[in-house]
Structure 1
Amino acid sequence: MSEIVDYELFEVPPRWVFLRIETADGTVGWGEPVIEGRSRTVLTAVEELMDNYLLGEDPQRIEDHWQAMYRGGFYRGGPILMSAIAGIDQALWDIKGKQYGAPIHDLLGGAARDRIRVYQWIGGDRPSDVAEQAREQVDAGFTALKMNATPEIERIDDPATVTAAANRLQQVREAVGDEIDIGVDFHGRVSKPMAKRLVEALEPHDPFFVEEPVLPEHNDALPEIAQHTTTSIATGERMFSRWDYKELFEQGVVDLIQPDLSHAGGITEVKKIAAMAEAYDVAMAPHCPLGPIALASCVQVDACSPNALIQEQSLNIHYNETTDVLDYLTDPSVFEYEEGYVSIPDDPGLGIDIDEEYVREQSQQDVDWTNPVWRHDDGSVAEW
């Protein structure tokens, strides 16, 4: 047995945590356990799991380790624990693939496709200049885009706010035409009454999907919102396990799920969530405004999940200040986008080579990203 002998954690800019796990035979696996804005909390959770469950163990027993990490604690689930498990799980799969000399998707049944479509963000946190940015990204080869629907919004807002959101989408649609898909992200900023109004106002401009029209704690409102649109409803980036998704599938109104490979228990759990979704005729587009390890993990699951539709990725996203996805790779060509697609890698493990020297260098910086706290005009806290 080549047991796990060491691990290291690196906080790196712009807002990521990388986990390096090493086995006795010198095999190294990489994971990306992080909650954006709570990275140090997740880092501590990873240390607890590694020290209590993984050091000295056989890295090949991934399912057993997942069960022990999840069920070994009386209190379980939630963003912090599931993100810690996710990063460890990614690294264990990376090790297993390298030890078998196979990409992870081969160990999960083999590729069901040769490439996966990707989409590109436009417009920033408070959406602006969307038409111009949309044209630029289509010229760069992307066939699918995503933008935020609104800046901060009141629980019941004025007609001008609704009109402005519809006009932004209309501008993008007119700029790029009918052969480009445009996802619209409500970002959990929108209350149920405003979501009903917005989905109706956006529909004439044919959005690809409306994402997180309400926060997950208000998923019970989704059937009512769905009555106001034929647009596909997407959600799931703030849902962390198959148990969170179970009620969503039984509800029957969501068309596209967006589990995050660094938040929802990693490769092991998201593969199970994808299979559950397939049984309910629900597509998957994994959430990934994160770094190269998270993206590589997504692509591995996309490769072997028949219902994977499209992949989010964060190249040049508005969060990535000072460093970007490709900076941490020795060979960035693995994420070359052609005709709006990325090819499924066939190198062992995650299919990427992390530039360890660059990771160590960047980890010397003070990384302290927290998401902004927005406020309404009356001073009360607004959803970001």
Structure 2
Amino acid sequence: MKIAKAEVIVTSPDRNFVTLKLTTEDGLTGLGDATLNGRELAVVSYLKDHVAPLLIGSDASRIEDTWQFLYRSAYWRRGPVTMASIASVDMALWDIKGKAAGMPVYQLLGGASRTGLMAYGHASGKEMPEIFDSIRSHLEEGYRSIRVQTGVPGLKAIYGIASQSMDTTDADVRYDHEPARRGAKPTEEDWDTRAYLKHLPGVFEAVRNEFGPDLPLLHDGHHRMTPIQAAKLGKSLEPYDLFWLEDCTPAENQEALRLVRQHTTTPLAIGEIFNTVWDFKDLIRDQLIDYVRGAVTHMGGISPLKKTLEYAAQYQIKSGMHGPTDISPVGMAAAMHLGLSIHNFGIQEYMKHGKRTDQVFEQSYTWENGMLHPGDEPGLGVELNQDEAGKYPYEQAYLPYNRLADGTVHDW
């Protein structure tokens, strides 16, 4: 089962996606997601110029060996570009193996550990009435867990607020929560941590009063606080019983989470920008987090993220895999297969893609009664309509960035 062709396909139906398509000599195909939001073409070059030529003639059934070869032979290891590239190969090989076996990938990973995957949606608003309306809308869509992001008085535009996102009159495009703006340069936003820390607890108090104590609520700090600020926020949110507080401080400083942990019992989720188990190793070993936020697309694929989550399971730490719209349906399907099979699944982030994306990526996964399921088609269960993909060429797009009131660039 040798690889005969390796194609890198870039399409931009609702946003930019990078997809690797492998074809074997006997005609089996496999897809992998290599999307790196705002730096897509760097991965395209890495795949086209350095990875694809190495795959031709290799045995598609040797998933682990291929992964180790691509990781170790380059010498320059890790990093988002390298790991997104390797991830796409790993996913595509699992897709091929599933098709060869006539089984969905989750069956090859040990079978289902549950009937479906609880997912959370993204509710937001500039002010409380808008937040309440957004939460009700998500509940009507079937979500049973809700991430709540709020505007802050005095700030014009901040991360995660749907009504402040990209302007569009196209009803077919789901830009509700996709912050990447198409254009030559990133958009500038503003930030004030003190105002945010003062405002946020009151928002969650109002949400709890309106929706009761049982609805799981999440919040994303998006790396914007110092360790002591994060500790203060975690403590102030304890009365509102959050499912988790995500990315409360830049976690490249692993020791910072120790200080946060000492001061709050609010569960912590970390790692959507991490690329390998080495980024998580100390956080898991020292039990400084409760949820692993890694993405299949950015962690090198299904194979290494499964190992990372098995390691986390030894410390009763669960999965919380990254799943915004900058993960293509291929990457989302891979996360679902992995989540369905592991024992220590926690929750799956799930943002619905736009209609054009759904036409480009034909999916078998389902969303019913607040639960995701990858489906039972052989492989990952996603096929790429290349004719449809060809209608939407790449468009340069960047995530925004932050400045404080005095002009200092801040974490976004």
**Structure-1-length-normalised TM-score:** 0.91
**What secondary structure sits across from 2:95 in the alignment?**
helix
* Pairwise CA distance, 1:325: 4.9
1:337 to 367, 370, 375: 367
* Pairwise CA distance, 1:357: 2.3
* Pairwise CA distance, 1:227: 2.0
Contact 1:113 1:304 in 2 (8 A): yes
| Aligned counterparts of 1:153 and 1:376: Cα–Cα separation in 2 | 5
For structure 1, which segment, 296-305 or 173-182, has the greater mean C-alpha deviation from structure 2 after superposition? Answer: 173-182
What letter is aligned with 2:409? Answer: V
Residue 328 of structure 2 is matched in structure 1 by: 291
Residues 16, 169 of structure 1: alpha-carbon distance in 2 compared, 3 angstrom cutoff: farther
2:341 corresponds to 1:304: yes
**What secondary structure sits across from 2:377 in the alignment?**
coil
Contact 2:254 2:282 in 1 (8 A): no
| Aligned counterparts of 1:330 and 1:294: Cα–Cα separation in 2 | 13
What letter is aligned with 1:326? Answer: D
Residue 225 of structure 1 is matched in structure 2 by: 260
After superposition, the C-alpha distances for 1:38-63 in whole angstroms (9 at most, x for unaligned) are 10111111123433421121111111
Contact 2:8 2:44 in 1 (8 A): no
Residue 197 of structure 1 is matched in structure 2 by: 232
Residue 10 of structure 1 is matched in structure 2 by: 10
Residues 127, 69 of structure 1: alpha-carbon distance in 2 compared, 3 angstrom cutoff: farther
Q: Could you say what the CA RMSD is over the residues aligned between the two structures, in angstroms? A: 2.0
| Aligned counterparts of 1:173 and 1:72: Cα–Cα separation in 2 | 52
Residues 213, 68 of structure 1: alpha-carbon distance in 2 compared, 3 angstrom cutoff: same
* Pairwise CA distance, 1:153: 4.1
1:328 to 347, 356, 360: 360
After superposition, the C-alpha distances for 1:99-123 in whole angstroms (9 at most, x for unaligned) are 1111111112212112111110122
Residue 123 of structure 2 is matched in structure 1 by: 122
**What secondary structure sits across from 2:120 in the alignment?**
strand
Seq. identity, %: 29
| Aligned counterparts of 1:213 and 1:283: Cα–Cα separation in 2 | 18
Residue 274 of structure 2 is matched in structure 1 by: 239
What letter is aligned with 1:36? Answer: N
2:381 corresponds to 1:367: no
Contact 2:98 2:379 in 1 (8 A): yes
What are the ranges of 5 or more consecutive residues in structure 1 without an aligned counterpart? none
* Pairwise CA distance, 1:92: 1.2
What are the ranges of 5 or more consecutive residues in structure 2 without an aligned counterpart? 153-157, 159-189
For structure 1, which segment, 160-169 or 178-187, has the greater mean C-alpha deviation from structure 2 after superposition? Answer: 160-169
Residue 40 of structure 1 is matched in structure 2 by: 41
* Pairwise CA distance, 1:292: 0.6
| Aligned counterparts of 2:49 and 2:107: Cα–Cα separation in 1 | 31
* Pairwise CA distance, 1:139: 2.2
**What secondary structure sits across from 2:253 in the alignment?**
helix
**What secondary structure sits across from 1:219 in the alignment?**
coil
Question: Number of paired residues?
Answer: 371
| Aligned counterparts of 2:45 and 2:90: Cα–Cα separation in 1 | 16
Residue 54 of structure 2 is matched in structure 1 by: 53
After superposition, the C-alpha distances for 1:304-329 in whole angstroms (9 at most, x for unaligned) are 1110111112216xxx6xx6653434
* Pairwise CA distance, 1:383: 1.5
Residues 96, 4 of structure 1: alpha-carbon distance in 2 compared, 3 angstrom cutoff: farther
2:381 corresponds to 1:351: yes
Contact 1:69 1:85 in 2 (8 A): yes
| Aligned counterparts of 1:127 and 1:39: Cα–Cα separation in 2 | 34
**Structure-2-length-normalised TM-score:** 0.85
